[in-house]
Structure 1
């Protein structure tokens, strides 16, 4: 058994041991905020996978259970948009933490239609507006689907039908965000076209193994030569990682940086994609969400991995395992 595999097995065991206490904490949080009580069964599932820059894949726990990646798709959409239009993208979207809920229309109004960052909903919708304008692909947001399929060696993706239906029949707040952006001249295409693109990327379904492998484009770091765009891709990756570090866990980003020390992006499907620059792409999943919308057990799992491997962007403790 490899050292990394042993670490992941130990992390799964520790997460399961601590899950009952975290469930009790979640119940107490729900009672304080008058939110719906969490489901105990959601604290009984946890998966993790690590894809290394060398091409190896190790996983443990419920790593084979598929889930909709939801907002994690915003990382892939940002990569496509940055590659397509470059730094001009930042004329339409900021790069700062919002300090407001991820779906806040008040924040967008204060910004006169300029979203605070690409990972809150208004920012992701402006990114989708850019992708709709690119053309050249069949079907809504085929751009994001194609990028992920390429990272998975041309594996065909599955879209979660329940996510497709709920976002299509609901999603009125997201439409309101788009109308606000359009009012300020920051949405160029019809609202329903942009909404369809957003729905399709959120519905992409992966398991931890697939998500870890899909994140490998963020490991590019070759500054020596520009073979097939490697240098420009590495520069994009650094920029995306910086936004993930600051904004990837919504209002929980500061606490996550303290506990885990890695750039990451969460989704309400319970997944989190974290990147160890130059070394590995890490995916965790557990469906129970904390008040910020991030996975309770997923965050704990990443914290434990960071402690056991010394993987962190802070300091020189990074090492291969």
Structure 2
């Protein structure tokens, strides 16, 4: 297959997917955070970045939105970059089989989250980053910008404030872990970093560029600069597959 034919085929695939789902009105926007409930449900975008650096997009692929739980992978990557295997002492690597914000298993396992992809795991990582950096919000945003190759990426402050105003379950989670000694920093500071990390606003294009690094063995596709070791990248990818879709991860792996 020639490069031109391959390019046309990939764009056509995106077009077919777009046409097949754009008229489906059965979905609902998330409403557990008030600001997310204001998002236009008719928005739809996709973007693909290949390991050769080619890009294909369709729909609202350049429109930014708060990345929410996608941020958990990037929090994990920064923590892995800083402390490596020490992270496993604070956060496990096993699928939970429970909803992303469950407290039941967390109490049974004495405040140690099953994996970094559930809320509790990401919150512990925020606690670790606060211990490591003088200005963790600034340093995390800089890390995300580097992966995305874009210096204009910012926190969505209105979404962060909205999530903070109703984050009762996350407050329960962090207090429970604090009672077991697995949160070491100030609870409000930990949650502030977590809510801001979830609020980061990115487009499909920027996310595709960001995650191409994980497909490219830990190196930036456009420059070749190594960000993560091959070993750490493999482990992050493994956690995305086994835990990244929460209690649907097994179903996705089986079907796809």
Q: What TM-score, normalized by structure 1, do the two folds share? A: 0.68
Moved more, 141-150 or 98-107: 141-150
C-alpha spacing 1:116/1:214, structure 2 compared with 1 (3 Å): same
Match in the other structure for 2:178: 182
Structure 2 unaligned residues grouped into runs of 5+: 29-36, 219-223
User: How many Å apart are 1:168 and its aligned residue?
Assistant: 1.9
Q: Is the contact between residue 81 and residue 130 of structure 1 (CA under 8 Å) also seen in structure 2? A: yes
Which of residues 194, 197, 221 in structure 1 aligns to 2:217?
A: 221
Over 4 Å off, 4+ runs: 228-232
User: How many Å apart are 1:231 and its aligned residue?
Assistant: 9.4
Which of residues 110, 113, 121 in structure 2 aligns to 1:112?
A: 110
Q: Is the contact between residue 160 and residue 199 of structure 2 (CA under 8 Å) also seen in structure 1? A: yes
Does 1:11 pair with 2:9?
no
Match in the other structure for 1:73: 71
Q: What TM-score, normalized by structure 2, do the two folds share? A: 0.84
Within 5 Å, give how 1:44-83 maps onto structure 2. 44-83=42-81
Q: Is the contact between residue 46 and residue 59 of structure 2 (CA under 8 Å) also seen in structure 1? A: yes
Q: Deviation string for 1:264-285 (max 9, x for gaps)?
A: xxxxxxxxxxxxxxxxxxxxxx
C-alpha spacing 1:7/1:153, structure 2 compared with 1 (3 Å): closer
CA RMSD of aligned residues (A): 2.7
Within 5 Å, give how 1:125-140 maps onto structure 2. 125-136=123-134, 138=135, 140=136
Q: Is the contact between residue 9 and residue 60 of structure 1 (CA under 8 Å) also seen in structure 2? A: no
User: How many Å apart are 1:216 and its aligned residue?
Assistant: 2.8
C-alpha spacing 1:8/1:248, structure 2 compared with 1 (3 Å): farther
Cα distance in 2 for residues equivalent to 1:57 and 1:19: 21
Does 1:211 pair with 2:214?
no
User: How many Å apart are 1:135 and its aligned residue?
Assistant: 1.4
User: How many Å apart are 1:230 and its aligned residue?
Assistant: 4.4
Moved more, 247-256 or 233-242: 247-256
Q: Deviation string for 1:90-130 (max 9, x for gaps)?
A: 01111111111110111110111000110100011001000
Does 1:191 pair with 2:187?
yes
Does 1:255 pair with 2:237?
no
